[in-house]
Amino acid sequence: MGFDQSPLKTLFSGAEDALLSMLADAPAEAVAQAHEYKILRDVLDGTAAAVAIMDERLRFRYVNDAMARMSGVPPDAFLGRTMAEVLPGIQRSEDILRMILGDGRPRALSVTGTTRAPSPFRQRQWSAVYHRLEYGDRVLGLCGIAVEVSGLRQYMDDLERAHQRLALLDTAATRVGTSLRVEQTCAELADFVVPSLADRATVWTVDPEEADDLPPPAPGVLRLRVVASAGGPDVVGRIGLTAEAGYYFDAPRDSPTRSCLDTGRPWVGNLASDDVMLKMLRTQLNVEVFRDVGIHSVVVVPLPTRDHPVGVLYLCRAGDSAPFTDEDVVVAQELAARAAVSIDNARQYTLEHTMALELQRALMSEPGTPHPDVETASRYLPAGQRALVGGDWFDSMALPCGRTLQVMGDVMGHGFTAAVAMSQYRSLLRTLAASGAPVERILQEADHRLASIGIDRVATCLLALVDPLAGTCTFAGAGHPPPVLLHPDAPAELVHVPTGPPLGTDLGGYEAATLSLKPKTVLLMYTDGLIEDRRRDIDSSLRRLTHLSLDVDGPLESLVDALVTRLVHGTTEDDVTLLAARLRSP
C-alpha cells in the first residue's frame, strides 16, 4: 500500500515504544530492526533541519519538529495537505518536484517566502534537497530536507547593496562637481539622482543675497531658489518643488524644509497623506499637482557644509515606484554631503572671482578716449583656473595734434601684487605720454623711473602712436609680442618692432619704427595669453594668428569677438587681453 492510500496516522506515528513492547518475544532480528526504527525516528525528530515526507500528490505525510518550529504550524496541521494550503506565503517550484517524481533524480531547490513563525529576517530562505521514495518498482512520494539560509542570504544581499552604494558614490564623484559653477553642479546632482534614487529631483539653494525684483521675505522666513530640476517635465513651472530654475520659495519655520535646514536631518514623507503634503507644499493647489502626476513619497535632504547648509535636495517617487527605504535616505545624505562641498566651493569661487574682476576693473579703470577719427574695441579675459586678478592692461589716449597712443602691457606674474604693480605702470605711462615725447623716449623714461622706485615686477609693453593726419603708426616695444595689421584686401601682416628689454630693468635701448596705416586696416595688439599654447611653439601660434580669415570690414566689436572665439578654447593659463584700432573713413 502506497503513502497516498495509507491511513494518515500510521506513517511515522510515534508508537515506537508500543512497537518494541509488542516485539518482546519476537526474533532478535525483528527487535533490532525496531530499535533501528526508533533511532532513526529520534534522528528525524531531533535534527535542526526541516524534514518532510510527501505522497505522490505532494500532500504531507510527515513533518518533523524542526519543520513545525520554522513554519509556526503544528505537525498535525500539515498532514494530508499541500504546501500551498498550509503555508501560502512560501514559494516553491511544484514543477521541479514532479520532475523528481518522474525521473527519480534528486534536486536542490531554493525555497523563499514568509511563514507564521516570527523571524528577524526581511525575507526567509531555505536550501532544500528532495529525493524520490520508492518501494520495489513503486513510487511512494518524496522526502525533502531543508536548512534555513536566511542569515547568509541577508548578509549577501547587504554586501551587494553596500557594493552598489559604494559604486554609486564613486560614480557620483566623477559626475557631480565637474565645474566651478553653482548652476552646473546643482544640475549634475539632480540629473544623477534621477532615476537611480528618485523619479523627480530638485535642488534648492539658500540665496545669500535677496533678489532686487522681489519683496523681502517676512520675518523668520527663509528664502530659497530653485537652481536645477530633473525628471517630470510635466510639472515643471507648475509647482515650487519641481519648478524651473529661478523660482523662489519662502520656507517658514514650521515647514519640513526649514526643519531640515535647521536640524541638518532629512525629512521623510513616505506615502504621505494630503495633510502631510499640504504642510510641506503650503497650498492645496500644489498638493493637487503632486497627486496629478502620481507623486506619493518625498524626501528632503539638507546640503550640509561645515558652517551651515547651502540648500536642500528634494527627491520624489511616483506611480509604481516603492517608497524610500532607510538605506535610500542614507545614500541620499551621502550624495548630498559630497555635492554640498562642490556647491559651496563653486559659490565661494564665484564670489571671489567676481570680487577679483571688480578689483581688476577698478585698478585698470576705463581706458582713455581716442580721437574721434580712431575707433577701438577691447577684450579682457582673466585666466580661468583661479579667481585672481592679473597684470594685463591696455589704454587708449588722445594726444595733441590729433594723435592717439595705443598701449598694451603685461606685468610678470598674477595675483594682487601683479595687479597693483600694473596700476603703477599704467599711471606712469599716462603721465609720460601727456608730455608728447616720442614713443621710444616714453619707454626709456618709464624703464628708468620704475627701476629707481624699486618695483620688483618687470613688465612687457607695446606702444603704438596712431597719426590719422599722416596716415602712419609708430611702434616701440619692451619685450612684448609684435602687433598684427589686418588688411581688408591682403593677408594679415606681423609687424616687426625693434624690441628692447622689459620695463623695470633700467637697461634702456628702445627704438621706434614707423609704418603707413590705411583707413580700413585694423591694428591688433594683444598679450601673450592669446598666443601661448603648450601644443604649439610661439612661431606656430603667431602664424596661426596671421592666417585667420576675418571680416575686417565689419564692426570692430564683432572682429574682436571672432578672434576670441577662434583662438581661445576653454580655460586659459594666462590672462588674455586684446586691443583693436582702426582709422575711421573720412
Give the pLDDT confidence of 411-465 residue by residue, as tens digits: 988 777 787 888 889 889 999 999 889 999 999 999 999 988 888 889 999 999 9
Amino acid found at 130? Y
Determine if the peptide bond prior to 195 is cis (ω within 30°): yes
- CATH superfamily, region 16-148: PAS domain (3.30.450.20)
Confidence of residue 120 (pLDDT cuts 50, 70, 90): confident
3-state secondary structure of 275: helix
| Cell numbers found for residue 409 | 602691457
Give strand ranges (E) for 38-99: 50-55, 60-63, 90-91
Neighbours of 426 (CB within 10 A): 22
| Cell numbers found for residue 294 | 502620481
Order of strands, sheet of 60-63, starting from the edge strand that comes earlier in the sequence: 60-63, 50-55, 138-148, 124-135, 107-113, 90-91
Q: What is the pTM of this model?
A: 0.52
Overall size of the chain counted in residues: 586
Third-level CATH fold of 365-583 = Phosphatase 2c; domain 1 (3.60.40)
Domain positions in the chain are 16-148, 166-353, 365-583
| Cell numbers found for residue 303 | 546640503
- pLDDT value, residue 282: 76
**What is the DSSP-derived secondary structure letter of residue 479?**
B
- pLDDT value, residue 365: 52
Helices 150-175 + 182-196 axis angle, to 10: 150
| Cell numbers found for residue 119 | 523571524
CA distances from 117 to 8, 70, 90, 109, 154 (A): 25, 6, 12, 21, 18
Confidence of residue 236 (pLDDT cuts 50, 70, 90): very low
CB–CB of 125/110 below 8 Å?
yes
**What is the DSSP-derived secondary structure letter of residue 431?**
H
Confidence of residue 9 (pLDDT cuts 50, 70, 90): very low
pLDDT in tens, 384-405: 555 456 788 899 999 999 999 9
Instruction: Give the closest residue to 466 by CA, choosing from 424, 511, 525, 380.
Output: 525
pLDDT in tens, 283-336: 787 788 888 888 999 999 999 988 889 999 999 999 899 999 998 999 999 999
**What is the DSSP-derived secondary structure letter of residue 480?**
P
- pLDDT value, residue 186: 92
Higher pLDDT, 573 or 398: 398
3-state secondary structure of 137: coil
Measured CA to CA, the distance from residue 232 to residue 294 in angstroms comes to: 11
pLDDT of 113 above 80: yes
pLDDT of 266 above 90: yes
- One fold for both 16-148 and 166-353? yes
Neighbours of 162 (CB within 10 A): 11
Percentage above 70 pLDDT, the chain: 85
Q: Which long-range contacts (CB under 8 A, 24 or more apart) does 533-542 make?
A: 542/481, 542/482, 542/494
- pLDDT value, residue 234: 47
CB–CB of 3/140 below 8 Å?
yes
pLDDT of 354 above 80: no
CB–CB of 124/150 below 8 Å?
yes
Measured CA to CA, the distance from residue 475 to residue 111 in angstroms comes to: 91
The end-to-end CA distance of the chain, in Å, is 124
- pLDDT value, residue 413: 80
| Cell numbers found for residue 279 | 504642510
Highest CATH level, class, for 166-353: alpha beta
- What is the dihedral sign for C-alpha 497, 501, 504, 506? negative
pLDDT of 29 above 60: yes
pLDDT in tens, 509-531: 999 999 999 989 999 999 988 88
Amino acid found at 19? L
- pLDDT value, residue 241: 47
Cβ neighbours of residue 504 closer than 8 Å, sequence gap 6 or more: 447, 450, 451, 455, 457, 458, 459
- pLDDT value, residue 14: 54
Q: What angle do CA 396, 398, 402 make, to 5 degrees?
A: 135
